[in-house]
Structure 1
Amino acid sequence: MTLVTTATFIDTKTAPVTQAIRLFRRHWVAIPLILLAFAGAWLLVYADGGTKYAHLHAIYFPILLAAFRYDEIGGFTAGLVGMILMGPLMPLDVAAGELQPTANWLFRGLYLCAIGVIIGLLNRLVLRGREERFRLANYDASTELPLAAPLRRHIREVLEAKGGSTGGHAVIHLSLTNGDNIHSSFGVDAYEMLMRSCAQRIGGSIPEGGFLARGGQSRFLCFLINTTEDAAVAVGRDLQAALRAPLDMGGLPALVDCEIGIATYPEHGADPEELLRASFAAIARAGQAPNRTVHLFDSEQDGAQRDNLRLLSELRGAIDERRLIFHAQPKFGADGSLWGAELLVRWPHPAGGFIMPGRFIPLAEQSRMIFDVTRLCFEAARDHMAQIREMTPRAGLHFSVNISGSDLSDPRFPEMLHDAFGDDPADLALLELEITETAIIEDLERLIPVLERVRETGVRIAIDDFGTGYSSLTYLKKIPADTLKIDQSFVRGVLESERDAILVRRTIQLGKDLGMDIVAEGVETQEIADWLVANGCDRLQGYFFSKPLPAPEWRELAADRVRRLTPDFTASE
């Protein structure tokens, strides 16, 4: 591993003044310059007529130079030299040949030495503070490794070096997966000791010429020169192996695992910023892998991630501008009567066409924007209820809204429900919340009381997509639900697959024994509808009856049903 000094981090592309200061720090430049300044000051004072004239003050210039370069020792030494040059070696008046009184030049010498020492001391204190600020800004205090900014400068110098190697380079981004756990369990001191131990192990596994830096909390960055993708991946695996050996944490062995992302030059970036960004993207993908593999940057995956970020930004605008719309897919009772509808969100994109929920809802859940989407859906359900009530107060059409576990875990959820529907029991009784088991499985015990409180207000709870994910009798026992909704993947196969038919039949019977209504989604043929009704299904939903309808078409269908009160569908004999 390359040993890096502070001087390595001084940017050679800075202003000319900085370059001049760097040059002045060299002895072979500073000493001749100081001597030249002394000679110039002596000649100037002598030519002007002696020490009794104003140019005597020129002697301060070389003293200041010496103090700036060599601190107190340099200032004091230069003061002594100045005392001699402007003392016995310099007349008081050159023209008259008058010498200086001894006391005069001795006292002047004391002043010159004092000024040199004071300036040198102040300069050292200022430089020490500057170096400390530089160290804090560029080095990690715990591991004494350089931070990301010096790494960027180092990478830029390597890439821009003339006559350098034409081979490839690589950035290895390493993140300790359990560093935060050790920090919270053992405290700051143990965590910092862990970071130092990891830095030593990583440094010992990096090839010669590599550059190791601290990349942030529990992160390290390695820059390898003259390498290939395969070689960089091999180094990454070596790093994982080196860190997996137990570390001594005050007598307690600590096991460390890590995720590694790799970006290579020039394939994944032509400058330090692009390379580091690519390494961050690669390690994000590595964290999603089940076996924490060493992950090489993938431009296609990166493009998809950028598209997701762009889509999230556009979704935020669509929510704020209320450009999301909600289609209603009718639900029918087993007798053919219109029971209500499920509200399904649609996003009309300015670029043309609709973006379907499967594309943006998962992103909204990850970013917590799903709460705002649900709020708009509640408002749409409230508006539909008001419109149906205007047609006939006794229509009693229900509206189902899909909610996520993130909605239920948000402390604002009860307030959002109240803002949309108030305390009107009539409206709340017509609202049904559909939630999948997978949405609440990670926090089941905490979210079940929330569902119970919501149910106490009169709102119906439906278990959506039953049969997929983590379906089990335990969840049927614990989740306070009124409705069991059988997933379409089983419904569509009841006529072709005896196994599907048995599963759906038993699910219907199980739900009814638990006092639940049974809804089948994905009904696409008359024959499937007949089979479901014959086996006790309470409600049906699917393209056989209707696709999701825009609000005007839904209102027209609902109004027609309310007027005629005659179902279009009845189960065939």
Structure 2
Amino acid sequence: MAFYDPLTKLPNRRLLTERLNHSMMVNERSGQHGALLYFDLDHFKTINDAHGHKTGDQLLIEVAKRLKSCLRDVDNLARVGGDEFVVTLETLGSQSRHAANKVEQVAELIREQLNQPYEIEGARYFTSPSVGVVIFQGLTETTDDLLKHAETAMYGAKSTDRNSISFYDPSIQKEVEQRATLETQLHEAIEQNQLELYYQLQVDEHKNPIGAEALIRWHHPQRGQVSPADFIPLAEETGQIKAMGRWVIEKACEQLRDWQNQAHLSNLILAINVSAKQFKEPNFVDQVSQNIQRYGIHAGRLKIELTESTIIDNIEETVLKMRQLRELGVKFSLDDFGTGYSSLQYLKRLPLDQIKIDQTFVRDIVQDPDDVTIVKTIIAMSQSLGLDVIAEGVETQEQRDILLANGCHHYQGYFFGRPCPVEQFSADLVGRLAV
């Protein structure tokens, strides 16, 4: 089985390389074009994280079957990574344009097949492929080069429009190389203390401060300020989010200790975001409790924000960890509520303190009656469960007034204050209290 993937029984990368080399030699002799198609499943990680590896494995097996059904006997198919597959096509003709048309037809057929729902143990799941294509003729490039180019094209498809097909363009390669550089620099940033916490105010209906959310920022010595939209997804993908998360817990507890001695800050509750990967670490509860003890803070002033996808995967372990931390006094908020897997069935089991209304429902609440209805429903459900509600992304008085009229009394957003360094946050708060 050294040449085959044990899950799907497909050839692995090692055997693919041998067969691809053979295809290149065949095309060298015939003068025809061949093609390599690199597939990555969109949103597979979400399915795997939310519903478990067993479901993910069954979906991958079904994907392999569907791919096989789209190919000729002379074509090759391999699984080269977690949710990545490669197809090689031979004898596509001597004209490059004709070959490209054939490849596109095959890729589109595969895309249609993989877009169909997957029935697994009575539930339906959806995924789609991002496809990178490179066309070759003869032995002008190595097998490693072709795989690299096809993978680069795949990332191009994923970054511009998922569920799409992209042919290799050298300019995309530059983006991939920049991403690799950013990954290295992010590792250095964690080690060299380039990260910083910014704080965004949370207020009640009278605009009185009730807390803050700690948001991670990165100021690179040469790049300057790096957008969280660039480095946080990268940290998630590479696993660096765990080290980053441990740093956030420590810095947040350190900051709470400093605030304890300042009258205008001593009662604030500080919220931190915890990723699924960090929360799943076996020693996560110890990470939090040890920092609480180390800095001598009141645990009730620390609030952990979890997303729905974090919570729903392995609900028993999730509830256990939450209860252990709740016994210490730590609070919990369900972040981005309504954007994922909202279900009363799991919600009522969780030892939550708060539900956070996602900004997607706040943004157009003044103009969109549907958003008002959704917000009303979330507030009513939260109240029935005895949970506090806070709305994020509040940017105008009109948004705040509609939220208040429908029973939401806590807010966060630019209307009340932008994220800022701790010195500015503290100074702004002093100024607010002096008014």
Which residue pairs with 2:209 in the alignment? 338
- The Cα shift of 1:343 comes to 0.7
Q: Is 1:416 the equivalent of 2:267?
A: no
Deviates further, 225-234 or 354-363 = 225-234
Q: Is 1:205 the equivalent of 2:70?
A: no
- The Cα shift of 1:465 comes to 1.8
Which residue pairs with 1:484 in the alignment? 355
Q: Extract unaligned runs of 5+ from structure 2.
A: 4-9, 45-52, 112-128
* Counterpart Cα distance in 1 of 2:390 and 2:73: 62
Which residue pairs with 2:240 in the alignment? 369
* Counterpart Cα distance in 1 of 2:382 and 2:78: 56
Change (3 A) 1:232 1:444: same
Which residue pairs with 2:257 in the alignment? 386
Change (3 A) 1:394 1:367: closer
Structure 2 SS opposite 1:422: helix
- Read off the aligned partner of 2:210 and give its amino acid letter: W
Is the 8 Å Cα contact of residues 272 and 305 (structure 2) preserved in structure 1?
yes
Which residue pairs with 1:104 in the alignment? none
State the TM-score, normalizing by the size of structure 1: 0.55
Change (3 A) 1:395 1:560: farther
Which of 319, 337, 341 is residue 190 of structure 2 equivalent to? 319
Structure 1 SS opposite 2:259: helix
- The Cα shift of 1:167 comes to 5.3
* Counterpart Cα distance in 2 of 1:536 and 1:229: 58
Q: Extract unaligned runs of 5+ from structure 1.
A: 1-135, 186-190, 207-211, 241-257, 569-573
* Bigger Rg over Cα: 1
Is the 8 Å Cα contact of residues 152 and 273 (structure 1) preserved in structure 2?
no
Aligned length in residues = 383
- The Cα shift of 1:483 comes to 0.8
Change (3 A) 1:223 1:440: farther
Is the 8 Å Cα contact of residues 170 and 265 (structure 1) preserved in structure 2?
yes
Is the 8 Å Cα contact of residues 20 and 88 (structure 2) preserved in structure 1?
no
* Counterpart Cα distance in 2 of 1:461 and 1:483: 6
Which residue pairs with 1:450 in the alignment? 321
* Counterpart Cα distance in 1 of 2:139 and 2:166: 10
- The Cα shift of 1:546 comes to 0.8
Which residue pairs with 1:543 in the alignment? 414
- Read off the aligned partner of 1:493 and give its amino acid letter: D
Which residue pairs with 1:170 in the alignment? 35
Is the 8 Å Cα contact of residues 332 and 539 (structure 1) preserved in structure 2?
yes
Q: Is 1:273 the equivalent of 2:144?
A: yes
Structure 2 SS opposite 1:523: coil
- The Cα shift of 1:301 comes to 5.8
- The Cα shift of 1:321 comes to 1.1
Structure with greater strand share of residues: 2
- Read off the aligned partner of 2:35 and give its amino acid letter: A
Deviates further, 400-409 or 504-513 = 504-513
- The Cα shift of 1:202 comes to 7.7
- The Cα shift of 1:309 comes to 2.9
* Counterpart Cα distance in 2 of 1:523 and 1:357: 20
Which residue pairs with 2:333 in the alignment? 462
Structure 1 SS opposite 2:364: coil
Is the 8 Å Cα contact of residues 173 and 279 (structure 1) preserved in structure 2?
yes
Structure with greater helix share of residues: 1
1:87-106 to structure 2, matched below 5 A, reads: none
* Counterpart Cα distance in 1 of 2:18 and 2:156: 26
Is the 8 Å Cα contact of residues 34 and 88 (structure 2) preserved in structure 1?
no
1:289-328 to structure 2, matched below 5 A, reads: 297-299=167-169, 304-328=175-199
Is the 8 Å Cα contact of residues 173 and 220 (structure 1) preserved in structure 2?
yes
- The Cα shift of 1:387 comes to 2.0
- The Cα shift of 1:233 comes to 5.1
- The Cα shift of 1:519 comes to 0.9
Q: Is 1:474 the equivalent of 2:345?
A: yes
Deviations 1:212-242, CA, capped at 9 Å, x for gaps: 79887997756557542233456779999xx
- Determine which structure has greater relative contact order: mean sequence separation of CA pairs < 8 Å that are 6+ residues apart, divided by chain length: 2
Structure 2 SS opposite 1:205: coil
- The Cα shift of 1:331 comes to 0.9
- The Cα shift of 1:283 comes to 7.0
Deviations 1:157-179, CA, capped at 9 Å, x for gaps: 789x7xx776544346799x9xx
Deviations 1:164-205, CA, capped at 9 Å, x for gaps: 776544346799x9xx99xx99xxxxx9xx9xxx99x98843
Q: Let me know the Cα RMSD of the aligned residues.
A: 4.6
- Read off the aligned partner of 1:427 and give its amino acid letter: H
State the TM-score, normalizing by the size of structure 2: 0.71
Change (3 A) 1:224 1:261: farther
